[in-house]
Amino acid sequence: MFIFEKAPFPSCHASTVVEHEPGKLMAAWFGGKDEGAKDVQIWSSVFDGKKWGELVLLGTEPGQPCWNPVLFKTAKGTLYLWYKAGPSPERWSGFVRTSSDNGKTWSKVEMLPAGFWGPVRAKPIQLANGTILAGTSVESHRNWTPFVDRSTDDGQSWTRSNAFPVPGKFNQIQPALLETQDGTIVALMRSRDPRVVCRSESKDGGVTFTPATPTELPNPSTGVDCVKLANGDFLMICNPVEKGRTPLSLARSRDKGRTWKVILDLETETAAEFSYPAMILSSSGLLEITYTWKRTHIKHQTLDPKKLRD
C-alpha cells in the first residue's frame, strides 16, 4: 500500500521505518520539488495497523534541502529522528530530534557536532550491553568512505570507528549493520566501484572494522537495508543489478553476509525506480518494508519471513 495518496510535494525519497509502539509503525522520508531542491523537508506518517495517517512535518531548514531521515527507538524507550540538511551531501549538517512519548511530541531540533550526522541512511542496531551502532559515511565527489559511530549513553554522544573502504578505493557509503549469533558486527555497503555490495566486520563491538571486501551481489550504487532472522539468516532488500534501480528484491545469506541469493522480487517494472528501502523485523515477527516508488510515493509492504523460500 502507499503511505499517502496525495501530498504537498511532487517528489519524495529515502524512507525510514520504526515500530514505535507494538503493532504500530512510523515512517519518515524527504519530500519537495525534487531531491536537493530548497523546499525539501522531512515528512512523517503513522500506521495504526490498518491504515496510514495524516502527513506531519518533522524537519525543515529554511533555504536548504533536507536529506535521509532515520528513525530508531532505543531499548530505554527514546525515539530518535536524525536527518541532514544542506546544499549537498558534501556540505550537509546533521540534526536530531527525540521523543519520550512514542512520537506524540518531539524535542526542539538540535544540530549535531561538526562531522557527525547520526546514521547516514540505514537504521542503527543496539547490542545487548546497550551500545548503539550507527552506520555513517563521508560522501564527497572523489571520496566515499564508510565508518560506524558508537554510543554507550543512549545516543547522547558518539565515537567513531576506523574507516573501512575497499583497499585502494574510496567508493563505499551508507553501511547497513547486523550482529551475528557469535557477536560479530557486519557492515554491508552501497558501492559505486566495484558495482557490488561490499562487506566489513568488527570483532570488538564496533570499535574497529576490517577493510571492506566485495561480495558477488550486484549493486548499482544505491542503498540497501538488512535484518537478521531468528535462525541467524540475514535478509537484504536491494537492487541486485549493476545499473538502474529496478528490480527491488530480497536476498538471503546463510553465511554472515558473505554470499547472497536473491529469493524474491518485490518490484520488477522496467524503466522505473524502486529504491532506498528500509526494513525492520517487527515484534510480531513480520518484515515491515518501505521504499521509494518512482520518486512520487513511498510504498509499504508487509511480508512473513517464514513464507519466504529460496
Q: How many CB atoms lie within 10 A of CB 242?
A: 12
Q: Which residue has the cell 576506523?
A: 162
| pLDDT band of 251, cuts 50, 70, 90 | very high
- Residues 147-203 have pLDDT tens digits of 999 999 999 999 999 999 999 999 999 999 999 999 999 999 999 999 999 999 999
Domains in the chain, CATH or no CATH each: 1-116+280-305 (2.120.10.10), 119-272 (2.120.10.10)
Is pTM beyond 0.95? Reply is: yes
For residues 16-37, average pLDDT: 98
Q: How many CB atoms lie within 10 A of CB 123?
A: 24
Q: How far apart are CA 230 and CA 216, in angstroms?
A: 25
Q: E strand or H helix at 236, and its extent? A: strand 234-238
Q: Give the percent of the chain with pLDDT over 90.
A: 99
Q: How far apart are CA 133 and CA 152, in angstroms?
A: 9
Q: Which residue has the cell 551481489?
A: 217
Let me know: does 39 contact 33? Beta carbons within 8 Å: yes
Q: How far apart are CA 114 and CA 220, in angstroms?
A: 30
pLDDT recorded at residue 310: 84
Q: Quick one: which of 245, 284, 238, 244 has its CA closest to 263?
A: 238
Instruction: Judge whether residue 212 has pLDDT over 90.
Output: yes
CA-CA-CA-CA torsion for 309, 288, 253, 210, nearest 10 degrees? 180
- Residues 123-145 have pLDDT tens digits of 999 999 999 999 999 999 899 99
Average pLDDT, the chain: 97
Instruction: Judge whether residue 50 has pLDDT over 90.
Output: yes
| pLDDT band of 237, cuts 50, 70, 90 | very high
For residues 99-118, average pLDDT: 96
Let me know: does 283 contact 23? Beta carbons within 8 Å: yes
Q: How many CB atoms lie within 10 A of CB 138?
A: 18
- DSSP code per residue over 38-61: TT-EEEEEEE-SS-B---EEEE-B
Q: Quick one: which of 39, 92, 32, 31 has its CA closest to 63?
A: 39
Q: How far apart are CA 301 and CA 291, in angstroms?
A: 9
Amino acid 42 reads: I
| pLDDT band of 223, cuts 50, 70, 90 | very high
